[in-house]
Structures are given as structure tokens and as C-alpha cells.
């Protein structure tokens, strides 16, 4: 990993509020990090819009527009071009191609809006997570940052933070509380990695 700046590629499918939180932290001088590119499978994603606003290369790459071999090689073309130290998933709704996971072993990180290993796995994304937490009458939810492997939400957990949700009267209220926490936690974890206070091995 480069010593002076942490160079990251952000993958996102949706609105991009975590991307924005990372950008804010960089702009505030708290995080010494450069976002080399933002990649999305969704051409309408807010994340791509945010990237363009900050003159960050915004790349739309959807499996739908490719035969499978070409899709993987297009992924690699992007990675070779920008050569990030880390890939940061921020609401990226697709599995990462296996060969990319292998090449970027221990260098792909995801944020999950619950306390893994609970409320994770296939189908556990977005409001599905918060609905399940609400149904289970949990007193706490939280945020997990974890390494990415070939299975959804199964890589090593690097960092977790809890939030008290005992006052939340709906899944939406839980979602709001957890998202606020994500915006603090993701930049904080990147800072810890940059400062070598957290190991990815």
C-alpha cells in the first residue's frame, strides 16, 4: 500500500451517502485518502452523480451490457487503470467477480447496516435488514465493516459499532439511526487503515 495517500476505488449502486461521507472527511482534512474512481452497476445511481460533481472518474459497468468474460475483463481494465490500494463497497448490490476477489484478497471492504453475523447474507440488504431487526425486537443494531469474500457478508469483521434502537418505533427509524452511524464509522475505519491502526490480514 502506498505510504503517503490511501488510494481507493468506491463501488456503489444507490444514493451514495456513504461515498459523500468519505468525501466530506477527505475535504475536512481528517482522512488522507484519494478516491481514484467510483464504479456503479446502476447508471442512475446518486453515487455516480456525486462523483461527477467532485470530478472523480464515474464509471458505469453493468453485467447486462456484456457477455460474462468481457464483463470480468472490463472490471480488470478499470482496476489496472486506476490501481487502487483498496476497493470500498458502499451499497454495491452485486457480487464481485470471483477473480477480482482473489486478486484483491484482503483489500475489498464492505459496510453492512447491522451487527454481523446476525442479519446478514443473501437478500439482507436495504430495508430488509432493518425490517428483520425490528421484527426481532432487538434493543441494539449497528454497523459492521468487513472484508469481502465470495459469499455475501461472510468475510472477516474488521470493526463494529452498536447503536441503541430501543426507542425506535419503526424499521425506518432504525434505518435512519444506523445510516447516521455508518457515515461516522466508514471514514473512521479508513483512517484507522491508513494510520495502520487496523490490519486487514
Among 9, 16, 84, 187, binds ligand GRF (CB under 6 A): 16
CB of 79 to ligand GRF, least distance (A): 21
Among 50, 86, 90, 189, binds ligand GRF (CB under 6 A): 90
139-155 core/surface letters (b: 16 or more CB in 10 A; e: else): eebbbbbbbbbeebbeb
CB of 186 to ligand GRF, least distance (A): 8
Report whether 76 contacts 50 (CB < 8 A): no
Q: Does 96 bind ligand GRF (CB under 6 A)?
A: no
Q: Does 179 bind ligand GRF (CB under 6 A)?
A: yes
Q: Does 17 bind ligand GRF (CB under 6 A)?
A: yes
Residues 113-142 that bind ligand GRF (CB under 6 A): 113
Cell matching residue 98? 470471483
CB of 39 to ligand GRF, least distance (A): 13
Give the N- to C-terminal CA distance of the chain in Å, as an integer. 13
State phi, psi for 10 to the nearest 5 degrees.
-105, 130
Clarify whether 146 is annotated catalytic: no
Q: Is 55 exposed, middle or buried (0-12, 13-18, 19+ CB in 10 A)?
A: exposed
Binding site for ligand GRF (CB under 6 A): 12, 14-18, 90-91, 111-113, 179, 182
Amino acid at each position: 500500500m502506498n505510504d503517503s495517500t490511501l488510494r481507493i476505488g468506491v463501488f456503489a449502486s444507490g444514493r451514495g451517502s456513504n461515498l459523500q461521507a468519505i468525501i466530506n472527511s477527505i475535504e475536512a482534512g481528517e482522512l488522507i485518502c484519494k478516491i481514484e474512481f467510483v464504479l456503479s452497476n446502476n447508471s442512475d445511481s446518486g453515487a455516480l452523480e456525486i462523483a461527477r460533481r467532485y470530478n472523480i472518474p464515474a464509471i458505469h459497468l453493468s453485467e447486462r451490457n456484456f457477455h460474462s468474460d468481457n464483463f470480468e475483463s472490463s472490471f480488470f481494465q478499470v482496476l489496472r487503470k486506476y490501481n487502487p490500494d483498496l476497493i470500498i463497497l458502499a451499497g454495491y448490490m452485486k457480487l464481485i467477480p470471483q477473480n477480482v476477489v482473489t486478486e484483491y484478497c484482503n483489500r475489498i471492504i464492505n459496510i453492512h447496516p447491522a451487527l454481523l453475523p446476525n442479519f446478514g447474507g443473501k437478500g439482507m440488504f436495504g430495508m430488509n435488514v432493518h425490517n428483520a431487526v425490528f421484527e426481532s425486537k432487538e434493543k441494539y443494531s449497528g454497523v459492521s465493516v468487513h472484508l469481502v469474500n465470495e459469499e455475501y457478508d461472510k468475510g472477516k469483521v474488521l470493526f463494529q459499532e452498536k447503536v441503541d434502537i430501543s426507542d425506535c418505533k419503526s424499521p425506518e427509524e432504525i434505518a435512519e439511526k444506523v445510516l447516521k452511524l455508518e457515515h461516522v464509522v466508514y471514514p473512521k475505519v479508513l483512517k484507522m487503515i491508513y494510520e495502520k491502526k487496523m490490519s486487514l490480514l
